[in-house]
Amino acid sequence: MSPPRPSALDAVDEYLADVPPRFRSALQRVRRIVRAAAPQASEVISYRMPAFRLHGNLVYYGAFKDHCSLFVGSAGVRRKFAAELKPYETGKGTLQFTPENPLPTDLISRIVKFRVAENEKRSKR
């Protein structure tokens, strides 16, 4: 009999335990906000980062050398929230932030809900 496989939540917890304390609380905050905004989403590790899925990938998040990132993977998010994202470093599908300059709770929540709607629309096609 093989040992039980760790759950996705265990893997996310392990990831967060390995993150430097400076970034850990920022990522735990993001996790709580996403869970609240999309309680039906499942948590996974994908591309070696925590992620949430519901009808496909919603968002990823992770810690790097000098910042944290929220990966939204959606051009629609960048268009819809462009004005609010101006204070943050952004890339094609990422929003960079630090514990000293976090993404606002309401903004994360609205982005996640927007992503849920995008994924639901896509899954109905």
Mean pLDDT of 107-124: 94
The whole-number pLDDT of residue 103 equals 95
The whole-number pLDDT of residue 2 equals 46
Give SS3 for 53.
Answer: strand
Distance CA 115, CA 110 (A): 9
59-74: pLDDT as tens digits: 999 999 999 999 998 8
Comparing 18-27, 46-55, 90-99, the range with the smallest average pLDDT is 90-99
Q: In the chain, what are the domain boundaries?
A: 8-124
Distance CA 53, CA 86 (A): 26
9-25: pLDDT as tens digits: 689 999 999 999 999 99
> Average per-residue pLDDT in the chain?
91
Query: CB of 31 within 8 A of CB of 12?
Result: yes
Q: Which CATH architecture has domain 8-124?
A: Alpha-Beta Complex (3.90)
